Structure 1
């Protein structure tokens, strides 16, 4: 990913916050069968490695787990929004403006491992469930289902482990525009009916 200096996220905590906030990632591999990508939720274990380790699972019917690729990329997308030139003060001054897009994106790279040991799978499934059920008033737990049913479900999946070796993290939030233009973009997005636009509005430095 191309990351100009003004858009680069270098802070480890900020990067991990962006990873945790993106509820769905795209896991990309490239082996002798070519490129393959699978959208899936990934859990970040911050205690493993300098950048953390990603865990998830794919369907056993998904051929991606049989790839001979040694490295993978996980793509996490944060809030994003279209930016119209009409919001720029510069439009009124010179007219020399064009549309763009504001967004947060994190690309994580590392060696990929697929596994099917039952104890490891139940650990990943349990941790993912706890993560995404945490905000519910009555969280569902893996143990709410019959044990034999869960055992059968586990046979239908393959675990994914990817220790993160390097990261490209980008937050493009109009930092390259002057203050008046940034204020115009933030004001325009804040008035949008789209929740994602309003989320981006709060991230623009003004």
Structure 2
């Protein structure tokens, strides 16, 4: 990814924050028909001795061939805030009219190798954690609220996915190349 220095993410913590707040990742892999992308909500596991850059965990339906990319190099794209920026938000006169539209955005690219997990206990635990994280902010539905035989069937038709992150890249392009006054106007417009 092309990321000029002024747009590079400040820290791994900033990248992890974006990935946690915007967990729907686009998992890109090379498939039989060329590049393939699947949009999957991920759970981010913080770094440990076994995974110095952290882990991404998810699940997909067994019918989805994404899990068959065992040990394949993959890329997961996470996109945060984004917005069109009109040149009218800049001090056009001070810039001598030399302004153009742009797009402000935040993205993180996580690189790693995919591992498929066909373990019902692992899959159920991952589903429960992911659901709990998102339901806690809403109505509070829990996996165990559904009939057990239904959940067992769902688990049997699902495969777990784990990606040990090898490398993280990020670009937080938020008008850092503009004057403080221009940035303030852009931020107010994004409100």
| TM-score bin, normalised by smaller chain | over 0.9
Give CA deviations for 1:171-201 in whole Å, capped at 9, x if unaligned.
Answer: 11100112232223223x1xxxxxxx32xxx
Following TM superposition, by how much is the alpha carbon of 1:23 offset from its aligned partner in structure 2, in angstroms? 3.2
Aligned partners of 2:16, 2:70: CA distance in 1, in Å? 28
C-alpha contact (below 8 Å) 1:10/1:169 kept by paired residues? no
Count of residue pairs the alignment pairs up: 188
What are the equivalent positions in structure 2 for 1:42-191 lying under 5 Å apart? 42-48=42-48, 49-67=51-69, 70-89=72-91, 91-93=92-94, 94-136=96-138, 138-187=139-188, 189=189
**Contact 1:31-1:68 within 8 A present in 2 as well:** no
- Structure 2, unaligned runs of 5 or more: none
Task: Please give the alpha-carbon distance, in whole angstroms, between the structure 2 residues aligned to 1:139 and 1:47.
Answer: 28
Corresponding residue for 1:202? Answer: none
TM-score of the aligned structures, taking structure 2 as reference length = 0.92
**Alpha-carbon distance in 2 for matches of 1:116, 1:54:** 16
Tell me the CA shift for residue 55 of structure 1: 0.5
* 1:30 aligned partner: 30
Relative to structure 1, the CA distance from residue 68 to residue 121 in structure 2 (aligned partners, 3 Å threshold; closer, same or farther) is closer
Q: Which moved more, 1:111-120 or 1:28-37?
A: 28-37
Distance 1:139 1:68, change over 3 A: closer
More deviation, 60-69/4-13:
60-69
Secondary structure (helix, strand or coil) at the match of 1:164 reads strand
Aligned counterparts of 2:163 and 2:29: Cα–Cα separation in 1:
12
Q: CA deviation at 1:148?
A: 1.3
Structure 2 Cα separation of the partners of residues 139 and 179 of structure 1: 42
- Contact 2:80/2:107, CA 8 A, preserved across alignment: yes
Single out whichever of 162-171 and 29-38 deviates more from structure 2.
Answer: 29-38
State the Cα deviation string for residues 18-50 of structure 1 (Å, max 9, x = none). Answer: 110113111111144421111110000115422
Secondary structure class of the residue paired with 1:112? strand
1:112 and 1:6 map into 2 onto residues whose CA distance is 32
What residue in structure 2 maps to residue 201 of structure 1? Answer: none
TM-score by length of 1: 0.86
